[in-house]
């Protein structure tokens, strides 16, 4: 059972953005940043008996983990929890049909692609070749888009909703704000809006510095024999 709850009117004929957790949390970080940078308003949420039984607390307020935000004619779907495998298809299908009902002109999924590199490139994939040609983003030649993003793109293709997958390179094993910043920059070009990503880049530097510190600490402990490595 999936229910999409609207607390306020949702604009029709706009652009939908999907930012669910995935590789390196790239899409989720980008979506969270968009909410803050554009001062987006929460106008609804999604509930399902297949989602984890929890609520999110933010500044004392109880909010659902899967929410819908708007700004002008943009609709953003974001989740603070990974979508369980058994719920991915049903939730993605319902979101796609909801987009169809709202006459969405274009859907954009924000995600990461694990390459082991630090956010150096953004690739694109699309349900329509003509739409892909319009983007000034290198097309992903071969690969896979897993989880909710991949399922949603397939449902959009099935329902003839023009859809794009923006995929930022990421190491994949840690949160990657730098890759998220690259996604936001490319998304801003597509939406023809201006967004300052410097705060995200500053966060990226802090994360990378901490990651290097932890890596160095583990290496030193291994050398001292505190965490022996077995072969």
pLDDT digits (tens, 9 = 90+) for 34-48: 999 999 999 999 999
Greater confidence (207 vs 188) lies with 188
| Domain-embedded: residue 164 | yes
Query: Is residue 157 in some structural domain?
Result: yes
Q: Considering only CA atoms, which of 7, 98, 87 is closest in space to residue 44?
A: 7
Residue 217, domain member (yes or no): no
Ramachandran region, residue 172 (left: φ > 0; alpha: ψ -120 to 50; beta: rest): left
- The arithmetic mean of pLDDT across residues 162-177, rounded, is 89
Amino acid 231: pLDDT: 42
Give the confidence band of 203 by pLDDT, cuts at 50, 70, 90. confident
Average pLDDT across the chain, whole number: 89
| Structural domain count of the chain | 1
- Asked if the structure places residue 150 within a domain, the reply is yes
The structure's pTM equals 0.89
Q: Do the domain assignments include residue 138? A: yes
**DSSP-derived pairing of the beta strands 61-63 and 56-58:** antiparallel
Measured over all CA atoms, what is the biggest interatomic distance in the chain, rounded to whole angstroms?
A: 62
pLDDT tens, position by position, 115-125: 876 667 999 99
Instruction: State which residues form the domain around 182.
Output: 2-196
Residue reference for tokens 């694990």: 114
Whether 136 maps to a domain, the answer reads yes
CATH number of domain containing 68: 3.40.50.10900
Region 69-88: mean pLDDT is: 95
Percent of the chain at pLDDT above 90? Answer: 70
- The answer to whether residue 230 sits within a structural domain is no
Residue 125 resides in a domain: yes
Q: Does pLDDT of 192 surpass 80?
A: yes
Give Cβ neighbours of residue 104 (< 8 Å, ≥ 6 apart): 13, 14, 15, 16, 75, 161
DSSP letter at 166 equals E
């Amino acid at each position: 059972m999936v229910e999409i709850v609207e607390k306020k009117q949702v604009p029709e004929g706009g652009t939908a953005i999907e930012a669910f957790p995935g590789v390196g949390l790239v899409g989720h970080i980008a979506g969270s940043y968009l909410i803050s940078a554009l001062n987006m308003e929460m106008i609804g949420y999604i509930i399902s008996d297949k989602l984890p039984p929890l609520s999110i607390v933010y500044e004392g307020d109880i909010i659902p983990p899967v929410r819908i935000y708007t700004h002008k004619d943009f609709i953003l779907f974001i989740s603070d929890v990974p979508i369980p495998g058994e719920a991915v298809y049903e939730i993605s299908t319902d979101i796609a049909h909801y987009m169809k009902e709202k006459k969405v002109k274009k859907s954009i999924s924000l995600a990461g692609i694990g390459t082991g590199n630090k956010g150096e490139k953004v690739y694109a994939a699309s349900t329509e070749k003509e739409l892909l040609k319009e983007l000034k983003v290198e097309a992903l030649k071969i690969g896979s888009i897993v989880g909710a993003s991949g399922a949603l793109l397939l449902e959009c293709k099935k329902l003839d909703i023009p859809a794009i997958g923006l995929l930022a390179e990421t190491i994949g094993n840690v949160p990657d704000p730098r890759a998220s910043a690259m996604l936001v920059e490319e998304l801003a070009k597509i939406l023809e809006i201006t967004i300052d990503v410097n705060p995200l880049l500053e966060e990226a530097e802090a994360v990378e510095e901490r990651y290097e510190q932890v890596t160095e600490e583990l290496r030193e402990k291994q050398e001292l024999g505190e965490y022996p490595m077995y072969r």
